[in-house]
Amino acid sequence: MADILGLDTLLAQIVLAVGAALAVGNGFAIWQATRGRRPKGEEGDLKPARAWFLLGIGLLMAYWGLASLLSG
């Protein structure tokens, strides 16, 4: 039944998309923070440890999703 609906491929695509979004979003936030920019109307500073951690998790998820798509 999973082959008919393509659920295995869909799950791998979702993991790849969420991981890529995490990696790109946090990478952009780190890049903007190094340039001294912040979103308008936002208070507080960037928490670099959290941003780097989420960047790493995003890269791991994107790699996992891509590897799942290529192996299947």
Per-residue pLDDT tens digits for 4-58: 778 888 999 999 999 999 999 999 999 999 998 887 877 778 889 999 999 999 9
Note the pLDDT of residue 2.
Answer: 55
Helix 48-71 / helix 7-34 crossing angle, nearest 10 deg? 150
State pTM to two decimals. 0.84
**pLDDT surpasses 70 at 1:** no
Nearest CA-CA partner of 21 in 29, 31, 11 = 29
What span, in angstroms and rounded, lies between the C-alpha atoms of 9 and 46?
Answer: 35
Query: Half-sphere exposure (CA, 13 Å, Cβ side) for 53?
Result: 5
Which of the two residues, 1 and 39, has the higher pLDDT score? 39
